[in-house]
Structure 1
Amino acid sequence: MSDTPDTIDYGTMMHDAMRGLIARVLRRVARDGLPGEHHFFISFDTNHPGVQVADWLRERYPEDMTIVLQHWYEGLEVREDDFSVTLNFGDHPEPLIIPFDALRTFVDPSVEFGLRFERRDDDDLSEIDADALDGEAEAPFAEIDPDGDDDAKDGKGERREAEIVSLDRFRK
């Protein structure tokens, strides 16, 4: 579904904004390197148009693949619609090109941050699952506190596990 004069496609707009955030983070890393303990787990659809990976990698990961940007990567370049990076697979450097629309997850475990882009089986995003919004439903967003304040702790003072935010949880 796309924006029409009488509707606003919030789901698509939010996914676009989240992909823009990832692009901004990757641009900073391309320019300055990974700061501190930051590292990324990025999964993507290997069949998405525009994904470029070696044939042997596509055979090994026919549906999706998760890469890690941490210790060894080179040539990270971020463009408007995609990014490219060379990673080492068992002493075999391989270039990859990944469109932002192919992303499924982006996780930075060093700060308990994650985003998930769920596959859409249909284009009708206008209906929201009312059960997901009732008072008994599980909270849709993790309360992640990068400063370590008490807001990110449960009632017993224990740190809660991070949750990957999934906007599609509310779609039928």
Structure 2
Amino acid sequence: MFFLTVKKVVDACIRDKLIVSLEAQTEQQIKESTDWEEKDFLCKNVILNGLTDDLYDYYSTMKTTKVVCDALQKKYDTMEAGSKKYDVSCYLKFQMMDDKYVEAQSHKLQKIAYEIITEGMPLDEQFQVAIIIDKLPHLWKDFKNTLRYKTKELSLESLITQLRIEEEARK
């Protein structure tokens, strides 16, 4: 039963109603049209019942399941794009502070990078290494200059290890 309902939803989401003039309709076309209308009605209401009240009010005015699906797809694609922009913005604007542990701050920056990667945007490891080095706090200026020449040979893991060693030495 569940799979039949899912099949009906998918069918209604991807197919528009068959339009045939009233004079030229065959019995088979009338049956298909009636069947489509029934599926569309059921599927549209299944989708609408899953929405919050304010979204329900907006989307219930739409004529077919396909129109509702297309509108929801557009809405959530836009939201996803906004989320990606937000993560990239956070990544680029991130600043390390002198009064916090550098290793902890670099892990926070890696978490933001992971969010970007999980949203389907690739981030090269060497780029991540260069960003972390670039964002080191002002008091790490000398260490930062030393690392800049090693960026091509440093992995993310080895950079974090070097940061940990340097931070321990500075204590």
The structure with more radius of gyration: 2
- TM-score, normalised via structure 1 length: 0.22
Say which structure is richer in helix: 2
